[in-house]
Amino acid sequence: MLASGRPTSHSALPESHGRVHSPSSPLSALPHAHATLRALLAICLFTYVAQNMLNTSIAPLARALGLREWVVGLAVSTAALAVTLLSQFWGRRSISWGRRRVLLISLCLALSAGCLFSATVGLRVFGHLGATAAGIGIVAARGPFFGSATAAIPPTGQALIAELTTDEASRVRGMAAFSGSVQLSIVIGSLLSSVLGAWSIYAPVHATPLFILVALGIAAVAIPEGRRSAAHRPRGTTHRSVMRTTNAAAGTAHPEQQTTSIRKTEDRARTAARGAEDFERHSRGAPLPPRVSWSDARLLPWIGAAFGMFFTAGVVQIIAGFIVQDRLHLAPERAISLTAVMLLANATGAMLTQLLIVPRLGWRPGRLVRTGVTMAAVALAVLALAPTLWLMAAATFTIGMSSGLVGPGFTAGGSLAVSPAEQGGAAGILNATGATTWIFAPVTATALYGWHPLAPFILALCVLSASIIAAWAAPALGHSGAGPEQDRRRDPLK
């Protein structure tokens, strides 16, 4: 029991030397769980492809429409503010209202934002809107409107993965797959924006609502209606469903293997059932799952350890275009394509790490975070002084890999630190942590770069160094997943 007064974790996890044992998750073996998770990953992919098509085209688009550059920064910062404020709101309601309702509401809002953006651009092009009105429309559409919508998807996905995974290994793999789909969307969105932009600078904007419409269709068709989470099932249902799965699988195994398998799964089933019962006891008489505080002692070590990584990623992405143009002495037209190379290198590094490397490493969340932030510091120092495009691209690729290690470790570790009833609120806090950095990173990085080209790198290194110290000093990152359930697993009858 920590200072917050809440139970630490409801995951039964064995201690190991930084490596995770990989029993399959009983809940994730259910067919509907796999189908829902696949649908959610597809929704995430199409929605973030749409968002990143806007991100790639918004800067040159603003100049083509005769708008000031600060309009772009204001749109990005207000979107990040909306994500920060609303992530826990959506995360808790994905459990209370159901993920289908939350996704349909948020995607309808995103579709409205995409249509508003497209209409604003069209009216400005044909001379029916002045610069001020167009700027307000673009900031509103890409900022609070789109930000409020996309704030729902990560916490909904993370809460679902937390519900479907009862052991640390499957939790890490699930979070890595979810984060990897976001990084894949950055790659696809950047490529599509470049292809469409070669035809017309306005094409990516008008194509954005179509991708959101596809995501909305997937949510309407593939996300089940009214299906209760494991935490809302009647007492004993979770335990019985897990045992039925185990008995069916054990029927073809060697007798000794059957006994071992059944005993281990009984322990996991009791853990899952106990978590469901805890949730039921808490949820009686409460319309929403409990809020989770930013100052919660169980989450603070993870937030402190990962914050520097998110801030560094934001700084690098914002100033990539400036350093390419200034260090290579390029014209703006040439700098755009090479900036895309830098951003693709960063996204590719993160995507490959999350989808291919993390699932095969089998590392525990704390080890992923510690290794990632340490790697990022070295890569950031190289990027600060890199004189050639390929060295800069290699450094940004490594920063992407670092982010690919930190992201799944951060979300898995944070979710394992709280009880099943708090997964929605915790997912909101974890998602908002990264968004918070985007409120400040665009403004501070560009302002400092105008003062001195090395200044934003120095600031990012200072913030990242603080996170490195927090990561290596925090005991929670050294034995993530251990808690009261650890003792119960040794004696499941207690």
pLDDT in tens, 397-456: 999 999 999 988 998 888 888 888 787 778 788 888 888 888 888 778 878 888 899 999
pLDDT at 69: 67
Q: How far apart are CA 449 and CA 129, in angstroms?
A: 33
The rounded average pLDDT for each run of 10 residues, N- to C-terminus, in the chain (494 residues) is 40 42 40 73 89 74 78 81 86 83 92 93 90 90 88 82 75 80 81 78 88 93 64 45 47 51 50 46 53 83 92 87 84 70 86 88 91 96 92 94 92 85 80 83 80 92 95 79 37 32
pLDDT at 136: 92
Residue 265 lies in a domain: no
Write out the DSSP string of 97-115. T-HHHHHHHHHHHHHHHHH
Q: Do 53 and 167 have their domain in common?
A: yes
pLDDT in tens, 137-153: 988 998 889 988 888 88
Residue 488 lies in a domain: no
Q: How far apart are CA 180 and CA 178, in angstroms?
A: 5
- What's the CATH code of the domain at 59? 1.20.1250.20
pLDDT in tens, 284-295: 444 677 787 788
Residue position matching structure tokens 């409107």: 145
The domain total for the chain is 2
Nearest to 289 by CA among 484, 4, 98: 98
What predicted TM-score, i.e. pTM, was given to this entire model?
0.67
Domain that holds residue 401: 296-479
pLDDT at 6: 40
pLDDT at 280: 44
Residue 278 lies in a domain: no
Asked if 310 and 405 touch (Cβ cutoff 8 Å), the reply is no
Q: Do 219 and 304 have their domain in common?
A: no
Classify residue 233 by its DSSP letter.
S
Residue 110 lies in a domain: yes
Q: Do 79 and 193 have their domain in common?
A: yes
Residue 275 lies in a domain: no
Residue 289 lies in a domain: no
Residue 283 lies in a domain: no
User: Of 200, 224, 248, which one is at a domain's C-terminal end?
Assistant: 224
Q: Which residues contact 58 (CB under 8 A, 6 or more apart)?
A: 72, 75, 138, 142
Q: Is the dihedral of CA 327, 332, 338, 341 positive or negative?
A: positive
Q: Do 197 and 309 have their domain in common?
A: no
Q: Do 313 and 174 have their domain in common?
A: no
Q: Do 28 and 166 have their domain in common?
A: yes
Collapsed DSSP state (helix, strand, coil) of residue 19: strand
Q: Do 63 and 211 have their domain in common?
A: yes
Classify residue 141 by its DSSP letter.
I
User: Of 196, 224, 252, which one is at a domain's C-terminal end?
Assistant: 224
